[in-house]
């Protein structure tokens, strides 16, 4: 019988089965990868040799997933930085055209208010529809408008920042998982040494 781990002894089953430890990681061109932070941290004294054999492959898996998520964080941070630069430039050019001078607070307020002008998106889609060789039906046009609004929404700072927070949370968990594997590797090696000593002493006694 496999001995209980610290997690199973001290945490409720409902918590162990929650998204605190089990979640999906969305990878580009790979779909979702389901991960469980509780699986690869347990140490069974009777299976130390097997643990040591498995750890390199576990490092490859967890390290790869962590690297992918870290890249997603970098990409989102870049998109946020570029969006802020775009909004700042747009605000400054608009003020310059109107002969106004902006304070930093005004620029920041404009950036913080980043959002989607749904009426403008709707007008743009209506204009595009009149330019089509075969105009969309009302139903098709509504679908196109909703899709355009969603696309615009995904470029806004609030949306990008929420996405970044979600990915940062996953990145943090994966980093701790990789660190836990390092500690598990060291512990397994130490325990394997003690186990060999025990066998040698037992052999000498017999």
**Using one digit for the tens of pLDDT, what is the confidence trace for 79-102?**
999 999 999 998 888 888 878 888
Instruction: Give the H or E element holding residue 161.
Output: helix 157-205
Asked if 55 and 184 touch (Cβ cutoff 8 Å), the reply is yes
pLDDT at residue number 198: 78
The verdict on residue 144 lying in a domain is no
Asked if 66 and 44 touch (Cβ cutoff 8 Å), the reply is no
pLDDT at residue number 1: 45
Mean pLDDT within 48-61: 93
Asked if 111 and 88 touch (Cβ cutoff 8 Å), the reply is yes
Cα distances from 130 to residues 91, 119, 138, in angstroms, run 31, 17, 12
Percent of the chain with pLDDT over 70: 96
Nearby residues of 42 by Cβ (< 8 Å), 6 or more positions away: 5, 7
The verdict on residue 111 lying in a domain is yes
The verdict on residue 149 lying in a domain is no
Query: What is this structure's pTM?
Result: 0.82
Measured between alpha carbons, how far is 19 from 5 in angstroms, rounded to an integer?
19
**What are 183's two structure tokens?**
């500690």
The verdict on residue 102 lying in a domain is yes
In the chain, the number of structural domains is 1
Asked if 195 and 48 touch (Cβ cutoff 8 Å), the reply is yes
Mean pLDDT within 13-31: 90
Give the total residue count for the chain.
Answer: 206
Mean pLDDT within 141-153: 94
Mean pLDDT within 39-54: 90
In the three-class reduction of DSSP (H, G, I as helix; E, B as strand; rest coil), residue 29 is classed as coil
Mean pLDDT of the chain: 90
The verdict on residue 133 lying in a domain is no
Measured between alpha carbons, how far is 187 from 177 in angstroms, rounded to an integer?
15
The verdict on residue 189 lying in a domain is yes
In the predicted structure, residue 2 carries a pLDDT above the cut 60: no
The verdict on residue 136 lying in a domain is no
The verdict on residue 126 lying in a domain is no
Torsion angle (degrees, nearest 10) of CA 195, 198, 200, 202:
-140
Measured between alpha carbons, how far is 186 from 130 in angstroms, rounded to an integer?
68
Angle between helices 138-153 and 118-131 (to 10 degrees): 130
In the predicted structure, residue 135 carries a pLDDT above the cut 70: yes
pLDDT at residue number 3: 55
146 CB-side CA count, 13 A: 6
Measured between alpha carbons, how far is 142 from 122 in angstroms, rounded to an integer?
9
Measured between alpha carbons, how far is 52 from 58 in angstroms, rounded to an integer?
10
Can you give the residue range of the structural domain that contains 187? 6-115+156-199
């Amino acid at each position: 019988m496999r001995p209980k781990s610290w997690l199973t002894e001290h945490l409720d089953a409902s918590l162990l089965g929650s998204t605190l430890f089990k979640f999906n990681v969305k990878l580009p061109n790979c779909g979702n990868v389901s991960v469980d932070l509780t699986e690869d941290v347990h140490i069974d004294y009777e299976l130390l040799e097997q643990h040591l054999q498995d750890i390199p492959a576990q490092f490859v898996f967890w390290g790869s997933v962590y690297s992918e998520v870290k890249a997603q964080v970098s990409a989102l941070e870049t998109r946020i930085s570029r969006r802020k630069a775009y909004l700042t430039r747009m605000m400054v050019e608009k003020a310059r055209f109107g002969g106004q001078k902006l304070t930093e607070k005004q620029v920041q307020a404009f950036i913080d208010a980043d959002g989607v002008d749904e009426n403008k998106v709707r007008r743009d889609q209506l204009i595009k529809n009149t330019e089509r060789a075969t105009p969309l039906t009302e139903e098709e046009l509504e679908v196109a408008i909703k899709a355009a609004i969603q696309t615009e929404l995904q470029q806004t700072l609030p949306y990008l920042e929420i996405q970044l927070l979600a990915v940062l949370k996953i990145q943090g968990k994966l980093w701790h998982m990789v660190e836990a594997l390092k500690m598990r590797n060291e512990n397994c090696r130490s325990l394997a040494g003690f186990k060999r000593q025990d066998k040698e002493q037992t052999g000498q006694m017999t």
